[in-house]
Amino acid sequence: MKHKQSKKKLISENQKSFFFEDFIEHNNKQKKSVKSNLTEDRFYILFSVFFSLILIFSISIFNISTEDTNHRVIKKNKPYSSPLRRDVVDRNGELIARNITAYHAAIKSSQIKNKENFILKIKLNFPDINLTELKTNLENKKYFYLKKRLTEEEKNKIWEFGEKGIVIEPFQSRIYPHRQLFSHVLGQIDDDNYGISGIEKYFDRELKNNEKLNTPLSLTLDSNLQYLIKKELSEAMNDFKANAAGGLLMDVNTGEILSLVSLPDYNVNVRSDISDLKYINQITKGVYELGSVFKTFTLALALEENILTPETIVSNITKKVQCSKYQIGDIHEFPESMSAQDILIQSSNIGALLIARKIGEEKLKNFIEKIGLLKKPTIELEEIGQPLSFNWEKCKLETVSYGHGITTTPLQAATAYAALANGGYLINPTLELKEFNKKESKEKIISEQTSNEILSILRKVVTDDKGTASFANIFGYEVGGKTGTSKKYFDENKNLNTFISVFPVSEPRYVFLVILDDPKGAPHIKYNYKGQKISTSRNEAGWNSVYVAGKIIEKIGPILAINNNEVDKTHVVKKNN
Structural domains of the chain sorted by starting position, each given as residue range(s) with its CATH number in brackets:
79-218 (3.90.1310.10), 227-576 (3.40.710.10)
**Which one has a higher pLDDT value, 229 or 102?**
229
Residue 60's pLDDT is 61
Residue 424: pLDDT over 80: yes
Mean pLDDT over 279-300 rounds to 95
Give the best-scoring range by mean pLDDT among 45-54, 73-82, 533-542, 545-554.
545-554
Contact 102, 150 (CB under 8 A): yes
Tell me how far apart the alpha carbons of residues 364 and 392 are, in angstroms, rounded to a whole number. 11
Nearest one of 412, 379, 433 to 198, comparing CA atoms: 379
Contact 158, 145 (CB under 8 A): no
3-state helix, strand, coil in the chain (%, to 5): 40, 20, 40
Radius of gyration in angstroms for the set of CA atoms belonging to the chain, rounded to a whole number: 41
Residue 50's pLDDT is 65
Residue 554's pLDDT is 96
Residue 37: pLDDT over 70: no
Tell me how far apart the alpha carbons of residues 149 and 191 are, in angstroms, rounded to a whole number. 10
Cα atoms in the Cβ-side hemisphere of radius 13 Å centred on 485: 20
Weakest-pLDDT range from 62-66, 83-87, 472-476: 62-66
Length of the chain: 577
Tell me how far apart the alpha carbons of residues 263 and 226 are, in angstroms, rounded to a whole number. 12
State which H helix or E strand residue 251 sits in: strand 244-251
Mean pLDDT over 70-97 rounds to 68
Task: Write down the H helix ranges in 371-409.
Answer: 396-401
Contact 243, 276 (CB under 8 A): no
Residue 61's pLDDT is 61
Mean pLDDT over 309-332 rounds to 91
Residue 57's pLDDT is 62
**Which one has a higher pLDDT value, 69 or 562?**
562
Q: Classify the C-alpha dihedral 195-199-202-207 as positive or negative.
A: negative
Mean pLDDT over 525-531 rounds to 89
Residue 332: pLDDT over 90: no
Residue 394's pLDDT is 86
Residue 9: pLDDT over 80: no
Give residue 478's identity as a one-letter amino acid code.
E
Residue 182's pLDDT is 96
Residue 414: pLDDT over 70: yes
Residue 67: pLDDT over 80: no
Can you list the positions of beta strands (E) in 374-506?
480-488, 491-503
Tell me how far apart the alpha carbons of residues 412 and 387 are, in angstroms, rounded to a whole number. 10
Tell me how far apart the alpha carbons of residues 428 and 408 are, in angstroms, rounded to a whole number. 16
Residue 40: pLDDT over 90: no
Residue 41: pLDDT over 90: no
Mean pLDDT over 459-484 rounds to 96
Task: Write down the H helix ranges in 348-437.
Answer: 349-359, 361-370, 396-401, 410-421
Residue 3's pLDDT is 47
Within 8 A by CB and 6+ apart from 549, the residues are 471, 472, 481, 499, 501, 512, 514
pTM of the model: 0.80
- DSSP code of residue 475: T
Residue 15's pLDDT is 38
Weakest-pLDDT range from 55-59, 280-284, 347-351, 527-531: 55-59
3-state secondary structure of 401: helix
Residue 84's pLDDT is 83
Q: Are strands 88-89 and 166-175 parallel, antiparallel or unpaired?
A: unpaired
> Which residues face 195 on adjacent strands?
189
Weakest-pLDDT range from 127-136, 295-304, 355-364: 127-136
Residue 74's pLDDT is 39
Q: What angle do CA 186, 190, 196 make, to 5 degrees?
A: 50
Residue 562's pLDDT is 55
Residue 169: pLDDT over 50: yes
Mean pLDDT over 69-89 rounds to 57
Give the best-scoring range by mean pLDDT among 37-46, 49-58, 529-538.
529-538
Residue 34: pLDDT over 70: no
Q: Are strands 166-175 and 143-147 parallel, antiparallel or unpaired?
A: unpaired
Contact 433, 218 (CB under 8 A): yes
Weakest-pLDDT range from 164-173, 199-208, 246-255, 562-571: 562-571
How sure is the predictor about 162, in pLDDT bands with cuts at 50, 70 and 90?
confident
What average pLDDT is seen over the chain? 85
Mean pLDDT over 306-332 rounds to 92
